[in-house]
């Protein structure tokens, strides 16, 4: 069952990824990308990492894609339409893609040992009994309470900084 | 293990003060915005008092995310003094340049929170967050003169290159977590002694971490951003970058290498040996040809980071003691020098060329005499702080068999003699080209200059007390 689900999701992911880069209209591209990202979230659920899956949906599909769409709305689509469909650097692209494919297949078929060598046992969440959302919540509000809170100071500084630099009349 | 809020009292105080200052911006009428600067200085003074009261506290807090010890306590006090001096010279600067006081001081306070958290952190995640708070506030502050293209250039360069170095560092932390199974300092140190230190993942992680820190501390060959960023930033922020920010990065580096990665000492000592030699040579030689005093001090700060590395490479408590003493001395003399430059530059920073200092010696005795003290200390001539700073650093390095590097450092300092003395000669032995123009010295800046000069002389005459504090912090 899981295997079939995996291949179904993989098919969706690959299809929509190809559509994302081939679509002429950037808005369509963005919507295809949303579908591709949802498929990735599906993989996380399949791995029983439902927290990461939910974050994937919330952050990537919800937040980052809306940001993309806003930017696309602000640029002129007509100008993009006139551009050539295939970039002039396609030869470089093909070479890089082949190299990447070789590298990945080497890692997948031959490199299991080298991937795991030198890695430690997973540390924080070892229990499989509780849902991992619960486990993440527990460590986030106990051990990692301070980093969690301090991250808000970081975000505050970033927001204030962006406003200071971008505000029209100071 | 419990929370132990009290351990982070100075940081909490500063963060709350920063937020309150932001809330005060719309309430205060525009003529009274100047008070924000004094309020920020008061908050820093209050945090300094708390930090002093906490001197001697030990033990972990916040579930082991931070750990109180003498090194963290001493570093915290250094950062608070530096930020307070920066805040005091900023008040008259912002008024003169007609810049908004509003967001400047909250950002400075938050940067201090970041530095302080780095000092007491016991977990790479906390270190990273502290460094990012410091960096992001510094990017914005470097570009605070929005009307000046040089300030924009400074902020943009610092931001782009800083973001790259952050990525390197984060990747390094991820690899170290993969190799050690923990981001805690103690956990990584333990994994290193159990054989993980030899693995490629671990060494790669350490290397990337060093790249990140090397960039932030402006060590050669990752120093190229420094002169432009220092020149374009507002003078008080240049002082903050050269002193507080640099000290925070160097102290964190010292703690990490001495406490967490002693098992990989062979590897990082070799790397830092090369970086230290290159930093000293490039910093001093490039400073020779500078015509702008801000750029000159930028290269001089690069060179000094090279000297400080000697104590880190020594990998001994004596080396750490030397580093801390040198950082205290370096902070006093560099803050003082930048305070003089801030006052002398006048409106729109018109007078920062070396030529502008020609013949001011007898016309502005306060500025020229104190600048001379700071420059003599930067050279390392007794009876100033810089002399003992170099003495302790170099002797610790000799004890650790780093004779070749020490010889190089002495030669590099001799090169430094030329460009520092050149400025002193210009001030006292040349005739001024233009008719005199008054240089108003605001009270707060005057206090900072006098305090820093007094501190520089005090450390040069009676170094024992600060040396013993540095020794305690270094675990001697």
Whether residue B130 is predicted with pLDDT greater than 90 in this model: the reply is yes
User: Is residue B65 less than 8 Å (CB to CB) from chain A?
Assistant: yes
User: Is residue B136 less than 8 Å (CB to CB) from chain A?
Assistant: yes
pLDDT grade for B102, boundaries at 50, 70 and 90: confident
What pLDDT, on a 0 to 100 scale, did the predictor assign at position A78? 67
Tell me the C-alpha distance between B379 and B371, whole Å: 12
Whether residue B138 is predicted with pLDDT greater than 80 in this model: the reply is yes
Contact B126 A147 (CB under 8 A): yes
CB B450 within 8 A of CB B370: yes
Tally of residues, chain A: 170
Tell me the C-alpha distance between B37 and B35, whole Å: 5
Contact A160 B107 (CB under 8 A): yes
Alpha helices in B63-184 (DSSP H): 70-96, 104-120, 124-142, 149-180
Number of structural domains found in chain B:
1
Q: What is the mean pLDDT of residues B66-87?
A: 94
Q: Name chain B contacts of A111, Cβ cutoff 8 Å.
A: none
The reply to whether omega before B336 is within 30° of 0 (cis) is: no
Whether residue A114 is predicted with pLDDT greater than 60 in this model: the reply is no
Whether residue B382 is predicted with pLDDT greater than 90 in this model: the reply is no
CATH architecture of A1-83: Up-down Bundle (1.20)
Question: How large a percentage of chain B has pLDDT more than 70?
Answer: 99
Task: Point out the least confidently predicted range of A40-49, B330-339, B395-404.
Answer: A40-49
pLDDT grade for A116, boundaries at 50, 70 and 90: low
Task: Point out the least confidently predicted range of A28-37, A60-69, B118-127.
Answer: A60-69
User: Is residue B94 less than 8 Å (CB to CB) from chain A?
Assistant: no
Average model confidence (pLDDT) for chain A? 82
Express each pLDDT in B238-271 by its tens digit: 999 999 999 999 999 999 999 999 989 899 999 9
Q: Name chain A contacts of B139, Cβ cutoff 8 Å.
A: 161
Contact A120 B182 (CB under 8 A): yes
CB B277 within 8 A of CB B104: no
Contact A147 B103 (CB under 8 A): no
Q: Could you say which residues from 14 to 53 on chain B have a Cβ atom under 8 Å away from some Cβ of chain A?
A: 15, 19, 22
Average model confidence (pLDDT) for chain B? 92
Tell me the C-alpha distance between B35 and B113, whole Å: 21
Contact B179 A121 (CB under 8 A): no
Whether residue B203 is predicted with pLDDT greater than 60 in this model: the reply is yes
Express each pLDDT in A15-60 by its tens digit: 999 999 888 788 888 889 999 999 999 999 888 888 889 999 999 8
User: Is residue B176 less than 8 Å (CB to CB) from chain A?
Assistant: no
User: Is residue B234 less than 8 Å (CB to CB) from chain A?
Assistant: no
What pLDDT, on a 0 to 100 scale, did the predictor assign at position A40? 93
Whether residue A100 is predicted with pLDDT greater than 70 in this model: the reply is yes
Place of tokens 């020229």: B368
User: Is residue A117 less than 8 Å (CB to CB) from chain B?
Assistant: yes
Q: ipTM score here?
A: 0.91
Whether residue B407 is predicted with pLDDT greater than 90 in this model: the reply is yes
Structure tokens at A103: 């590298």
Q: Name chain A contacts of B202, Cβ cutoff 8 Å.
A: 118
Question: B113 to chain A: nearest residue by CA?
Answer: A153
From B129, B136, B196, residue closest to A150, measured CB to CB? B129
Tell me phi and psi for residue B121, to 5 degrees: -65, 145
Domain membership of residue B98 as a residue range = 5-473
Q: Give, for B60, the enclosing helix (H) or strand (E).
A: strand B59-61
From A144, A153, A164, residue closest to B140, measured CB to CB? A164
Q: How many CB contacts within 8 angstroms connect chain A with chain B?
A: 92
Whether residue B98 is predicted with pLDDT greater than 90 in this model: the reply is no
Q: Name chain B contacts of A146, Cβ cutoff 8 Å.
A: 8, 62-63, 65-66, 126
What pLDDT, on a 0 to 100 scale, did the predictor assign at position B354? 85
Whether residue B41 is predicted with pLDDT greater than 90 in this model: the reply is yes
- The domains of chain A are located at 1-83, 84-114, 131-170
Question: How large a percentage of chain B has pLDDT more than 90?
Answer: 75
What pLDDT, on a 0 to 100 scale, did the predictor assign at position A81? 63
Q: Name chain A contacts of B136, Cβ cutoff 8 Å.
A: 154, 157-158, 161
Q: What is the mean pLDDT of residues B146-162?
A: 92
């Amino acid at each position: 069952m899981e295997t079939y689900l995996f291949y179904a999701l993989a098919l969706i992911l690959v299809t929509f990824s190809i559509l994302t880069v081939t679509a002429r209209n950037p808005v369509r591209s963005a919507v295809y990308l949303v579908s591709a990202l949802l498929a990735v979230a599906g993989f996380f659920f399949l791995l029983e990492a439902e927290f990461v899956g939910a974050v994937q949906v919330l952050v990537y599909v919800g937040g980052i894609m809306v940001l993309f769409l806003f930017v696309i709305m602000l640029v002129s689509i007509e100008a993009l339409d006139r551009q050539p469909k295939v970039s002039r650097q396609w030869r470089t692209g093909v070479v890089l893609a082949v190299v990447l494919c070789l590298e990945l297949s080497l890692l997948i078929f031959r490199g299991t040992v080298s991937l795991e060598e030198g890695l430690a046992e997973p540390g924080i969440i070892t229990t499989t009994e509780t849902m991992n959302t619960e486990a993440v919540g527990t460590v986030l509000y106990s051990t990692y309470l301070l980093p969690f809170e301090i991250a808000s100071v970081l975000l505050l500084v970033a927001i204030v900084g962006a406003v200071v630099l971008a505000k029209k009349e100071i | 293990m419990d929370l132990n809020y009290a351990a982070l009292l100075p940081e909490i105080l500063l963060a709350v003060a920063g937020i309150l200052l932001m809330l005060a911006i719309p309430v205060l009428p525009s003529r009274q915005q100047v008070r924000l600067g004094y309020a920020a200085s008061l908050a820093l003074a209050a945090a300094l008092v708390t930090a002093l009261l906490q001197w001697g506290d030990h033990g972990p807090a916040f579930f082991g995310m931070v750990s109180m010890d003498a090194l963290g306590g001493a570093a915290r006090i250094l950062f608070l003094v530096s930020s307070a001096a920066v805040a005091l010279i900023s008040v008259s600067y912002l008024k003169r340049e007609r810049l908004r006081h509003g967001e400047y001081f909250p950002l400075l306070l938050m940067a201090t929170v970041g530095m302080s958290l780095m000092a007491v952190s016991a977990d790479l995640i906390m270190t990273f967050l502290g460094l990012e708070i410091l960096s992001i506030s510094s990017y914005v502050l470097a570009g605070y003169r929005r009307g000046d293209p040089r300030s924009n250039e400074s902020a943009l360069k610092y931001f782009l290159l800083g973001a790259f170095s952050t990525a390197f560092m984060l990747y390094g932390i991820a690899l170290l977590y993969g190799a050690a199974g923990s981001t805690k300092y103690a956990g990584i140190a333990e994994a290193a002694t159990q054989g993980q230190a030899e693995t490629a993942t671990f060494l790669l992680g350490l290397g990337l971490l060093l790249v990140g820190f090397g960039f932030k501390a402006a060590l050669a060959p990752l120093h190229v951003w420094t002169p432009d960023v220092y020149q374009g930033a507002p003078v008080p922020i240049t002082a903050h970058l050269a002193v507080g920010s640099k000290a925070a990065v160097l102290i964190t580096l010292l703690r990490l290498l001495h406490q967490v990665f002693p098992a990989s000492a062979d590897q990082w000592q070799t790397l830092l040996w090369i970086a230290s030699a290159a930093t000293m040579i490039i910093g001093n030689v490039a400073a020779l040809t500078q015509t702008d005093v801000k750029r000159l001090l930028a290269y001089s700060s690069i060179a000094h980071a090279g000297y400080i590395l000697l104590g880190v490479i020594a990998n001994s408590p004596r080396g750490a003691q030397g580093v801390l003493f040198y950082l205290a001395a370096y902070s006093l003399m560099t803050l003082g020098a930048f305070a003089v430059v801030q006052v002398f530059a006048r409106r729109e920073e018109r007078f920062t060329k070396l030529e502008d200092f020609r013949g001011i010696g007898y016309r502005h005795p306060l500025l020229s005499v104190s600048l001379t003290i700071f420059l003599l200390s930067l050279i390392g001539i007794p009876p100033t702080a810089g002399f003992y700073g170099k003495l302790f650093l170099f002797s610790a390095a000799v004890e650790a068999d780093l004779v070749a590097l020490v010889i190089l450092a002495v030669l590099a300092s001799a090169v430094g003699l030329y460009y520092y003395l050149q400025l002193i000669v210009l001030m006292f032995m040349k005739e001024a080209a233009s008719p005199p123009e008054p240089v108003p010295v605001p009270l707060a800046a005057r206090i900072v200059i006098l305090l820093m000069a007094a501190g520089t002389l005090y450390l040069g005459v009676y170094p024992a007390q600060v040396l013993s504090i540095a020794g305690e912090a270094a675990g001697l």
